[in-house]
């Protein structure tokens, strides 16, 4: 049964190769000081920085720059940004980058005026913001996380060996997000395919939970089919606008709260992947790729009908004469071959994980109960060993 829910998403999207033009109009809604935040410099090489700062200057904004947001942004960087945003009394945080930069901007937006340690308040006690929250705008340059239209903000605390995802309420969603598929053309192939798997994983985390045959599952299947189709084109030709634009749109819908409505969700692959990320600092999508197949094999029995449906409805595997178990196996094999075909990591050892790291990764893994089997720490260890 589709459960009770409310649905609204406050992020205004501008999509397409001309979408940056809308920044002019959006900027008029905010005060004069803009905190421009970005990563390690890719936007300076591909011209996006020049295009954005030109518009900011034309709109008479005072630009405060906060660069060097690293992939898997750290708590120390969060403190630095919060201090800078507060000292400059900024009116808007404009994040230009991938999930790391946008997640980071949301963290800063809720931390700048927070009177407590934001790590404790948001990423440990998981509380909502009770201070002034600075509005965030996003210009997306790499797809995968869905951060452009959700409240997620993942921060890594290396000292504690933890990578934690806080999901803020709608007050912290980007007020607007600019999605120009051409901005993603320069993403290195490794990052690009990691992003593709992140999208797939977001959909699977919401799909592989509950026995229901509800609308969300049909939407999820459509999104997965679109992603699989376009990913095959994009790996051969990363500048294929049609493929990159469809993937960008799929990515946003994969994690903007729509497809989880009225159903339970899993998220255990992300819990293991994030714990692995905290120890190795590996690329998020690759950590998910490294553990997904062993994880799904481990839990498959509890949701065999859904895994069989995944085989037929997503991978077009012929049903006739096969048991649900056989179909479920074939579906996972199809997933694995697609992963190999597009060039994903399928072993955690490729990310530097060793047998010795496994206990620490298991310790950092939050155990959730939304999937087909609630894992114990020992089972996480088993899955991690199998992933090596
Ligand atoms: O830092 P720069 O120089 O910009 O380079 C980045 C970075 O090295 C590069 N890049 C991005 N756009 C580019 C580009 N290089 C060339 N051309 C471009 N157009 O790509 C690298 C990776 O960027 P990053 O932002 O780290 O990747 P992604 O978008 O995958 O974000 C990962 C972070 O998001 C979190 C992850 O845990 C991780 O910390 N997540 C956020 C979620 C959310 N908000 O809901 C959910 C996800 O499950 C995920 O956990
Ligand atoms: Zn993810």
Residue for token pair 């992603």: 227
CA angle 345, 347, 353 (to 5 degrees): 110
Q: Is 40 in the pocket of ligand 1 (CB under 6 A)?
A: yes
Cα of 14 from ligand 1 centre, angstroms = 20
DSSP letters along 232-256, please? HHHHH-TT-HHHHHHHHHHHHHHTS
The strand pair at 12-15 and 136-140 is best described as unpaired
CA distance linking residue 225 with residue 342, whole number of Å: 15
* pLDDT tens digits for range 262-289: 999 999 999 999 999 999 999 999 999 9
CATH 1.10.760.10 fits domain 190-387? no
What pLDDT, on a 0 to 100 scale, did the predictor assign at position 218?
A: 95
**Domain definitions of the chain by residue range:** 12-183, 190-387
CA distance linking residue 134 with residue 123, whole number of Å: 18
Q: Is the pLDDT of residue 211 over 90?
A: no
Say which residues have a Cβ less than 8 Å from residue 130's Cβ, sequence separation at least 6: none
In this structure, the number of other CB atoms found within 10 A of the CB of residue 364 comes to 21
Provide the 8-state DSSP code for 181.
G
CA distance linking residue 356 with residue 352, whole number of Å: 11
How far is C-alpha 48 from the geometric centre of its chain's CA atoms? 22
Q: Is the pLDDT of residue 197 over 90?
A: yes
Cα of 322 from ligand 2 centre, angstroms = 33
Q: Is 252 in the pocket of ligand 1 (CB under 6 A)?
A: no
Provide the 8-state DSSP code for 138.
E
Sign of torsion over alpha carbons 255, 259, 262, 268 = negative
For residue 38, the SS3 value is: strand
* pLDDT tens digits for range 140-174: 999 999 999 999 999 999 999 999 999 999 999 99
Selection from 52, 158, 63 nearest residue 97 by Cα: 52
* Cross-strand bridge partners of residue 178: 14, 139
CA distance linking residue 271 with residue 145, whole number of Å: 15
Selection from 376, 154, 159 nearest residue 285 by Cα: 154
Q: Is the pTM of this model over 0.85?
A: yes
Q: Is 71 in the pocket of ligand 1 (CB under 6 A)?
A: yes
What pLDDT, on a 0 to 100 scale, did the predictor assign at position 17?
A: 98
In this structure, the number of other CB atoms found within 10 A of the CB of residue 47 comes to 11
- Average pLDDT on 57-62 reads 98
* pLDDT tens digits for range 304-335: 999 999 999 999 999 999 999 999 999 999 99
Helices (H) and strands (E) in the chain, counts: 15, 8
| End-to-end CA, the chain | 39
Average pLDDT of every residue of the chain: 97
Give the CB-side neighbour count of residue 325, counting CA atoms within 13 A: 1
Cα of 2 from ligand 1 centre, angstroms = 33
For residue 87, the SS3 value is: helix
Say which residues have a Cβ less than 8 Å from residue 163's Cβ, sequence separation at least 6: 72, 154, 155, 156, 157, 274, 275, 277, 278, 364
- Residue of 284, 292, 345, 366 to test ligand 1 pocket, by largest number of atoms within 8 Å of CB: 284
Architecture of domain 12-183: 3-Layer(aba) Sandwich (3.40)
């Amino acid at each position: 049964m589709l459960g009770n829910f409310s649905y609204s998403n406050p992020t205004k999207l501008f999509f397409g190769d001309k979408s940056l033009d809308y920044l002019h109009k959006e900027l008029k809604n905010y005060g004069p000081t803009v905190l421009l935040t970005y990563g390690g410099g890719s936007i300076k090489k591909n011209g996006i920085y020049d295009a954005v700062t030109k518009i900011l200057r034309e709109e008479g904004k005072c630009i405060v720059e906060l660069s060097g947001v690293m992939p898997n942004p750290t708590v120390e960087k969060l403190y630095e940004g919060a201090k800078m945003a507060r000292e400059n009394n900024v009116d808007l945080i404009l994040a230009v980058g991938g999930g790391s930069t946008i997640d980071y901007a949301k963290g800063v937006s809720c931390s700048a005026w927070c009177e407590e340690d934001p790590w404790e308040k948001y990423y440990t006690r998981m509380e909502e913001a009770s201070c002034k929250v600075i509005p965030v705008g996003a210009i997306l340059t790499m797809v995968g996380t869905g951060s452009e239209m959700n409240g997620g903000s993942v921060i890594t605390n290396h000292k504690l060996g933890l990578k934690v995802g806080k999901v803020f309420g709608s007050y912290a969603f980007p007020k607007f997000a600019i999605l120009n598929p051409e901005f993603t053309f320069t993403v290195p192939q490794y990052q690009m395919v990691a992003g593709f798997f992140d999208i797939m994983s977001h959909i699977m985390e919401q799909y592989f939970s509950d026995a229901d045959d509800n609308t969300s599952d049909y939407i999820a299947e459509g999104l997965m089919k679109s992603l699989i189709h376009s990913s095959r084109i994009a790996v051969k030709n990363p500048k294929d606008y049609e493929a990159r634009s469809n993937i960008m749109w799929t990515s946003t819908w994969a994690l903007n709260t729509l497809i989880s409505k009225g159903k339970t969700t899993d998220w255990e692959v992300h819990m293991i992947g994030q714990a692995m990320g905290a120890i190795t600092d590996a690329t998020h999508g690759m950590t998910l790729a490294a553990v997904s197949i062993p994880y799904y094999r481990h839990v498959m029995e509890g949701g065999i009908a859904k895994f069989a449906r995944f085989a037929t409805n997503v991978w077009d595997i012929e049903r006739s004469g096969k048991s649900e178990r056989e179909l479920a196996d074939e579906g996972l094999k199809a997933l694995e071959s697609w992963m190999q075909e597009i060039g994903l990591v399928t072993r955690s050892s490729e990310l530097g994980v060793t047998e010795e790291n496994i206990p620490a990764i298991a310790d950092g893994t939050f155990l959730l109960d939304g999937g087909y089997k609630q894992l114990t720490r020992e089972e996480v260890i088993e899955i991690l060993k199998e992933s090596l």
